[in-house]
Amino acid sequence: MKQGFVKVAAVTPKLKVADTVYNGKIIREYMRETWEAGAKVVVFPELCVTGYTCGDLFLQEKLLKSAAEELMELAACSSAYDAIYFVGLPYVVNGKLYNVAAAISGGEVLGMVPKTWLPNYNEFYEMRHFTSGAELDTEIALPNGDVVSVSTDLIFVCKEMPKLTIGVELCEDLWAPNPPSIRHALAGANVIVNLSASDEITGKAHYRRELVDGQSARLVCGYIYASAGDGESTQDVVYSGHDIIAENGHLLAEKRFSNGVCEAELDVERIEADRRRMTTFVTEDTHMRILFSLRVAETQLTRYVDRAPFVPGNPAERDARCDEILMIQALGLKKRLEHTGSQTAVIGISGGLDSTLALLVTVKAFDLLERDRSGIVAVTMPGFGTTDRTYDNAVKLIRCLGAEFVEVDIKNAVNVHFADIGQDASVHDVTYENGQARERTQILMDLANKRNGMVIGTGDLSELALGWATYNGDHMSMYAVNASVPKTLVRHLVRYYADTCGDTLLQNTLLDVLDTPVSPELLPPEDGKISQKTEDLVGPYELHDFFLYHMLRFGSAPAKIYRLAKLAFADVYDDAFIMKWLKTFYRRFFAQQFKRSCLPDGPKVGTVAVSPRGDLRMPSDACATIWMQELEEL
């Protein structure tokens, strides 16, 4: 439960219809099994104490009394386990029979939630036996004398972890036009449990899965769906035990056509972070809150932690995402070119990844505008660190794409500048490096003035996060098309373009660009090869992109990011290596905010961006002290 992780389980026991004693025994065995596995929230199917398919046996006093007695046994059993359980049974309230979910924990029944929407079609006849609990809001005395609330408006809140707030609905409630879970979520519930008995017919499983996924996304919540299995009567229909666990639109775990346990870990801190970002998620304090206790311990994580969260893992989805992002970038640039009346687009081409992507986007924008690509002024500016490899690739790219080729050698101009300011050209310090970057930017800006154009920025999101840009050098442009594209995604965008361009020479050039080490090329080469490799200096971009995603997307604390990174990169980097670069990330992220506070415009392509106008309103002088302190204490 530390850092917001809560292990949860949906359980489908193999029941015997109408045998409450047997069913209670099986449920208790699963209570023990799931507790031993570390589950804190465990959901059983609808009417699991009796079985869902009892039919008119629900009208029998013996069955109802036996179910109530078995509930007391289950509640007593819960005292031995550190978890909250939800079980389904029929229960009489004020002379009416309700299909309820009972929450039990710590040796007691915490409350009961009745089903709101009762099906009465095809093989279902719940209205024949049960009453809707839509208007029910009362208290009842249990067989042991305890008084509990029975209402659809109950939320169960963990005292030790207040962010764990649970709402309940039952089967058909989810399928209705206005599910109770909407009301629960607006009242603060961030986990919804659904006790279900959904029969199986062809195609229904897909719809059911989409329904659960969609509801978890719409409500920004964790959703635990436990359905009845093959222990139910097969007189007319079959039950498949389709259990589903989802989190904010992502399927975490699923099983079907089997009894047993489906388990996963929910991240309630992540859910809460998403809700805080949504101004349209307006809460309504209409529910009764019932407290329960759980010991706070570290949850063993089995959930998949994506080491490249900006990049879809599925190839087809990745290609579709790349195509979409390129179009978003190009459309943004297209509008800016139209609005400013710019006749040309001026862009510096180094032969590296970022300038390559920016050129590809500019070409796409010109194609959308139906302008001749010769209006793209592509400038190579070889300096002290330029290698033959990057220079040749830059020239090939410009020629292949039909842009105007312009070359300006900056070495003489930079040497004159060094003489003006008294810089020893043999001293390869930050002045030596930044002098070249600013000279290049001056050339691009002045060329744009001369050619009635605008300068296209090439820097990416990862560089902005780390401040790996020369202030008023490559930091500046008139429109920054890559500003919200992280480095790990830049590679895939260029690769996608290479795979789909249909030009062998262009494809081979792009592939060689992809194979070239990332470098600003501001220091002289060694034996003709790149001597200054960015990732040797600031760390692997795949780590920094991972850190950035979890920090900005979910507001995760350093300790949590470190824990997730250790899982994601367990077979790549050791713990000390990850910690080293995580400290670097936080130090640079805070220290370099002043560069991000005055960024040029650029199109947003994903949920994480650092534009000072709408995405990251962070003071330039904020202190990293408490974040660094947490890392030092790990």
579 in a structural domain: yes
- Are both 194 and 244 inside the same structural domain? yes
Domain boundary residue, one of 226, 257, 292: 292
Query: How many domains in the chain?
Result: 2
Residue 304 lies in a domain: no
In one letter, which amino acid is 393? N
Domain shared by 596 and 507, yes or no: yes
Do 285 and 324 have their domain in common?
Answer: no
Residue 71 belongs to a domain: yes
Please report, in angstroms and rounded to a whole number, the separation of the first and last CA atoms in the chain: 18
Q: Is the pLDDT of residue 124 over 70?
A: no
DSSP letter for 402, please: T
At 506, which CATH number?
3.40.50.620
Does one domain contain both 325 and 258?
no
Same domain, 480 and 564: yes
Judge contact between 381 and 351, C-beta under 8 A: no
Could you read off the pLDDT of 365-401 as tens digits, one per residue? 999 999 999 999 999 999 998 899 999 999 999 999 9
**pLDDT class of 123 with cuts at 50, 70, 90:** low
- Out of 7, 48, 70, 115, the active site residue is 115
pLDDT(57) > 70: yes
Please tell me whether residues 272 and 337 are part of one structural domain. Answer: no
More confident residue, 278 or 332: 332
pLDDT digits over 537-550, tens only? 899 999 999 999 99
Residues 201 and 341 in one domain: no
Q: Alpha-carbon distance 612 to 475, whole Å?
A: 14
Residue 626 lies in a domain: yes
- Element spanning 262, H or E: strand 260-267
Asked if the structure places residue 298 within a domain, the reply is: no
- 252 and 400 assigned to the same domain: no
Give the tens place of pLDDT for each residue, 275-310: 988 877 777 777 899 999 999 889 999 989 999 999
Mean pLDDT (the chain, rounded): 94
Considering only CA atoms, which of 59, 58, 73 is closest in space to residue 22?
Answer: 73
Query: Are 475 and 552 found together in one domain?
Result: yes
Residue 536 has pLDDT above 90, yes or no: no
Check: CB of residue 473 under 8 Å from CB of residue 444: no
Domain annotation covers residue 299: no
Average pLDDT value for residue range 409-421: 96
> Which residue among 171, 221, 262, 322 is the active-site one?
171
Please state, as a whole number, how many other Cβ atoms lie within 10 Å of the Cβ of residue 84: 25
> Is the pLDDT confidence value at 437 over 60?
yes
**Final residue belonging to a domain, choices 236, 260, 292:** 292
Hey, how many other C-beta atoms are within 10 angstroms of the C-beta on 276? 12
**Of 166, 165, 182, 186, residue with least CA distance to 174:** 182
C-beta of residue 407 within 8 angstroms of C-beta of residue 382: yes
Q: Are residue 380 and residue 286 in the same domain, yes or no? A: no
Q: What is the pTM of this model?
A: 0.89
Instruction: Tell me the per-residue pLDDT of 163-215, one tens digit each, with 9 for 90 and over.
Output: 999 999 999 999 999 999 999 999 999 999 999 999 998 999 999 999 999 99
CATH of residue 26: 3.60.110.10
SS3 at position 437: helix
26 pLDDT exceeds 90? yes
Read off the pLDDT of each residue in 133-144 and give the average, rounded to a whole number: 95
Q: 254 catalytic, yes or no?
A: no
Given CA atoms 196, 198, 203, 207 in this order, what sign does their dihedral have?
Answer: negative
Task: Report if residue 306 sits inside a domain.
Answer: no
Q: What is the pLDDT of residue 531?
A: 65
Asked, for residue 301, whether it belongs to a domain, the answer is: no
Q: Report the DSSP beta bridge partners of residue 97.
A: 92
Let me know whether 215 and 346 are in one domain. Answer: no
Tokens of 213: 């996924």
Active site includes 171? yes
Q: In the predicted model, what is the mean pLDDT of residues 478-485? A: 97
Does pLDDT of 455 surpass 60? yes
Give CA–CA dist 345/365, Å, rounded.
10
Q: Which residues contact 91 (CB under 8 A, 6 or more apart)?
A: 64, 67, 68, 71, 97, 98, 100, 102, 112, 150
For residue 603, the enclosing domain spans 315-632
- Do 331 and 278 reside in the same domain of the chain? no
- Give the closest residue to 223 by CA, choosing from 292, 271, 172, 276: 271
Q: Which two tokens stand for residue 304?
A: 């998949």
Instruction: Encode pLDDT of 229-279 as tens digits.
Output: 999 988 888 999 999 999 999 999 999 999 999 999 999 999 999 998 887
